[in-house]
Chain A
Amino acid sequence: GNSVTQMEGPVTLSEEAFLTINCTYTATGYPSLFWYVQYPGEGLQLLLKATKADDKGSNKGFEATYRKETTSFHLEKGSVQVSDSAVYFCALKSGGSYIPTFGRGTSLIVHP
């Protein structure tokens, strides 16, 4: 079946540091991949997505590249801000399923 594995958090960084949150997946077929973000007290919001191999999704300074050979979709940002503090969820949806599968989430804490 489908599964998503994310690095455990919390990830604690100083403002303007470089961010990487690792995500690897197992899926049948050729899934679409997503990163969602959940700010404190809110629901999840789609951050970025990629639908085929070598696609790069980007939004708000965050990027992730769909790597089929390593089954990975790592989230990166060159310079984090305090306002980026949130929980980040990697997710996938394979073509044969109606339903996205989510990882457990990685908490990011950015200090001034």
Chain B
Amino acid sequence: ETGVTQSPTHLIKTRGQQVTLRCSSQSGHNTVSWYQQALGQGPQFIFQYYREEENGRGNFPPRFSGLQFPNYSSELNVNALELDDSALYLCASSLARQGANTGELFFGEGSRLTVL
């Protein structure tokens, strides 16, 4: 059984640039969620994808966007980067039926983004 993998693990960008983060979900999982974790804080929900469609979104601006592919892998894109976007971005996969999951999430190790 393959766990959740994320890439890249670390990256540095400058303000105004764009970034794409990638996530491969755990084998057998059909749902991917993205979280932003600032230093010393809990994960903040960005959005969730189920069957290639966004089916939930947190309080993040439209410059945060995503995709889910037919193999259930996913991308998080952030445009016009700001200094406050510096954080650990976590991807979590789960198995959902009819779009609702049990709440048990399987997390990757995260992508640490630094915006200068």
Contact = CB atoms under 8 A, between A and B. Distances in A.
Interface of A: 32, 34, 36, 41-46, 49, 89, 91-93, 97-105
Contact of B43 (A32, A44, A93): A44
Point out which of A32, A45, A49, A99 has the most chain B C-beta atoms below 10 A from its C-beta: A99
A98 B4 contact: no
A104 B45 contact: no
A105 B105 contact: no
Interface residues on B, range: 20 to 34
A49 B107 CA distance: 16
Interface in B90-104: 90, 92, 96, 99-104
A71 B71 CA distance: 39
B109 A41 contact: yes
A1 to B, nearest CB: 11
B74 interface: no
Of all A-B residue pairs in the complex, the 3 with the closest CB atoms, nearest first, are: A93-B103, A43-B107, A102-B42
